[in-house]
Structure 1
C-alpha cells in the first residue's frame, strides 16, 4: 500500500505536479537516535551516494496522508523510489536526453516556479509584522463579537408520547442523566447524560435553539420539542456569553490570511507598474477588463458560508 502511494506520488512529482505555495515546507524530523548534525549515507546507486537529508526532503514533498505516517515506516520505501529515480536518470543521461531542447525548456519553467515561490516567501515574511497581525486580530474580534451561549442536555426519542412520558417521569423526580443514558436515541450525547455542551443559537436547528434559548438554567422543557430528528426533552444547565479566542489561539489562522492579503497586494502592485497586453486565442486584442487580485481573502475570522444546522 505504501509503495503504491509512493509510486503515484513519484509520478506526480516527475510530471511537475509540485503545488505552488508561499510558505516553506517543513522537513520531517530525523529518526529517533540520530545525532545532531549527522547526515549519513543511506544508500548507494552504482557508487553514487544518497544521504538521509535527500530522503527527508523527498518525504516532505509527498502527499499529506503519507507524511502523517511514522518516518521509520515509509523510510525504506522512499529510499527505493529515490534509487529507482537515480537509475532512470542514469539511463537518460547515457541516452543524451539532457541535450534535448525540451530539457532546457522544462528547466527554465522549473527555475521560474522556484524563483516565484522563494520571492513570495521572503516578501511575506518581511511584510507580516507583529503590528499587522495585531491589527488583524483586532479586526477579528470586531467581526466576531461575543454571543449568547447555552449549555444544555437533551433526551431524543422517536415519538411525542414517549417524550411526554419522560417529562412526567422527570417531574416525579426522575434523574435526567440516567434517563438520557437509557432512552435517548442520540447515543453520543446519551453517553454524557445527554450533555450537548455550550452552543450558540445558530449551531442548532431552529426549533431546538428557540426552545433552549427561551429557558432559564435549571429548567426542563414542559412540552416536547419536535425537530426533523425526532422529539426532544431539553434541560438548560447554564447560560453565558462567549469569549473570543486569544491571539495565540488564532495566530496561525491570522498569519495564513494575512499572507494571502500580502500576496494579493504584492501582485496588484506589480501589475500596476507593468505593461500587460492580453490577446484572444486567435491573436486579436482582448477587451479590457479589471484584473482579479490573486490572494484576495476575507478578513481574518470572517464568517464562512452558512453550514447545515447541527443535529442536537
Structure 2
C-alpha cells in the first residue's frame, strides 16, 4: 500500500512537470546539458563529490547528488516523506535519472531558448526575488524592540488565569454522592474511595486527581463549585453535571504563570511577519500606478457617483 502511494506520487509529479522542473530550472541558462561543457565535466569527477553530499548516480556523466534526492522527497506528500529514506531511495533515484534524460533530450532539441521555457524561467525568477525581498524586509523589521512590544501586547491580551488542582469522585446517583461525603467527613481516604467507586475510569486510576485546570476547561457547574471552594476543602453537597454527581476536593490553587518571551517568540514572529508583509505591499501600492481591466481586457466600468441622501424637509414656519 505504501509503495503504491509513493509511486503514484512520483507519477503525479512527473505528469505535472514538477519532477522535471528542478533539472530544467537548474540548467535552463546553459546552451547544452551540463556534462557537455568542460566545467560540468570537471564537476562530474569523483574527486569533486564531498562526503556531505555524495554522488548517488550519473547520467551520461552528469551527477545526481544525495541533496537532489532529498529535494525531490521534500516535494512528495507528507505520508511519503515520513517513510524511511532507504525504502524510497531507489524509486527516487530512478525518477531523477528519468528527469535528467528528458531534460537532456530537451536541450538537444534546442528547447532551452523557446518562449515557453523562457517565460517559465522568468516566472520562477520573479517568485524567488519576491521571497528574497519579503524575507529581507521581515528580517530588517522584526527588531528586538518590536518583539518586546508584541510580547507586552500578548501578555495584556492573555492575562494570567487562576488554576485549581482538584480531585473528584463521580457517581450516578445523588444518594451515592451524599453517602461518600458522609464517609469522607468521618475520615475516609478520598483517593481510596475514588479508586473503588468513581465512574470516571481515567481519574479513578489517579485517586480522582484531575490535575490543574482553568475555569473554562470544565463544565460550568463543576467549575463554579471548584473555584468557589478553598484549598483542602471537600464539597459539602454533591455537584450535578450531565456526567452524573460529583464529590470534589480542592487540592491547591495558583495563578497560572504567563509564558516567557522565548516560549512565544515563534508565534510572535509569525504574527509580526504577516503584519510586515501587509505593510510592505500596501506601501508599494501607494507609490505604484496600478491599472486593472476586466477579464476580456476591456476597461473597468466607471463607478456611478453615489447620490446624496435626500435631506429632510424643514417644517414650514407658521
TM-score by length of 2: 0.73
2:157 to 113, 134, 143: 143
Moved more, 198-207 or 274-283: 274-283
Moved more, 68-77 or 128-137: 68-77
Per the alignment, residue 122 of structure 2 pairs with 108
> After superposition, what is the alpha-carbon deviation per residue over 1:61-114, rounded to whole angstroms, capped at 9, x for unaligned?
444444445544544443344334334444555666656543333333222222
State yes or no: 1:38 paired with 2:62.
Answer: no
Which runs of structure 2 are paired with 1:82-121 in the superposition (5 Å)? Answer: 82-90=96-104, 98=112, 101-121=115-135
> After superposition, what is the alpha-carbon deviation per residue over 1:218-273, rounded to whole angstroms, capped at 9, x for unaligned?
11222222223333222111111112101111111111111111111111111111
> After superposition, what is the alpha-carbon deviation per residue over 1:152-193, rounded to whole angstroms, capped at 9, x for unaligned?
122233333443343333333332223333333333333322
Unaligned runs of 5+ in 2: 20-49, 304-318
Unaligned runs of 5+ in 1: 19-35, 289-312
Q: Give structure 1 regions of 4+ aligned residues with deviation exceeding 6 angstroms.
A: none
Moved more, 94-103 or 270-279: 94-103
Per the alignment, residue 123 of structure 1 pairs with 137
Task: Identify if the C-alpha distance between structure 1 residues 13 and 215 changes in structure 2 by more than 3 Å, giving closer, same or farther.
Answer: farther
State yes or no: 1:219 paired with 2:233.
Answer: yes
Per the alignment, residue 260 of structure 1 pairs with 274
Per the alignment, residue 155 of structure 1 pairs with 169
1:285 to 296, 300, 304: 300
Task: Identify if the C-alpha distance between structure 1 residues 234 and 94 changes in structure 2 by more than 3 Å, giving closer, same or farther.
Answer: farther
State yes or no: 1:175 paired with 2:189.
Answer: yes
Q: Matched residues in 2 for 1:162 and 1:16: separation?
A: 69
2:147 to 133, 142, 150: 133
Calculate the aligned-residue CA RMSD, in Å: 3.1
Per the alignment, residue 246 of structure 1 pairs with 260
Q: Matched residues in 2 for 1:287 and 1:217: separation?
A: 70
State yes or no: 1:228 paired with 2:228.
Answer: no
2:287 to 273, 282, 290: 273
Q: Matched residues in 1 for 2:124 and 2:226: separation?
A: 58
Moved more, 220-229 or 3-12: 3-12
- Which of the pair has more CA radius of gyration? 2
SS in 1 for 2:57: strand
Conserved 8 A contact 1:6-1:81? no
Task: Identify if the C-alpha distance between structure 1 residues 43 and 265 changes in structure 2 by more than 3 Å, giving closer, same or farther.
Answer: same
Per the alignment, residue 27 of structure 2 pairs with none
Per the alignment, residue 68 of structure 2 pairs with 54
Q: Matched residues in 2 for 1:129 and 1:185: separation?
A: 54
> After superposition, what is the alpha-carbon deviation per residue over 1:105-130, rounded to whole angstroms, capped at 9, x for unaligned?
33332222222122212221222111
Q: Matched residues in 2 for 1:13 and 1:245: separation?
A: 47
Moved more, 43-52 or 130-139: 43-52
Q: Matched residues in 1 for 2:225 and 2:86: separation?
A: 54
Per the alignment, residue 21 of structure 1 pairs with none
Matched length: 272
